[in-house]
Amino acid sequence: MTTGKLMRASQWARREFAQGSIPTARTLRNWVESGEVAGRIIGSAVFIFESEKAGLDTQVSQAVSKLLRA
């Protein structure tokens, strides 16, 4: 299970994608719902764990974060 701080999906997308390539809010929601990226939907708001990296499998991202903390 992923733990850590959550950030707004829109903020995460601005961090991870180049200007003009930022996915839509619907796409971000779909990614969280499908498990493509680890996050939570709380009410109508979409949040993604700050440790998630675009294009990197969630399990790989978790392993890298764990190694960096060691």
Predicted local confidence at residue 61, as pLDDT? 66
Tell me how far CA of residue 48 lies from CA of 57, 67, 68, 70, in angstroms. Answer: 14, 20, 20, 23
How far apart CA 64 and CA 17 sit, in angstroms, is 20
* pTM of this structure: 0.78
- Do residues 4 and 58 make contact, with C-beta atoms less than 8 angstroms apart? no
Supply 38's token pair. 């680890």
Q: What is the pLDDT of residues 4-57, one digit of tens each?
A: 899 999 999 999 999 999 999 999 999 999 999 999 999 999 999 998 988 777
Tell me how far CA of residue 67 lies from CA of 18, 35, 46, 61, in angstroms. Answer: 27, 22, 27, 10
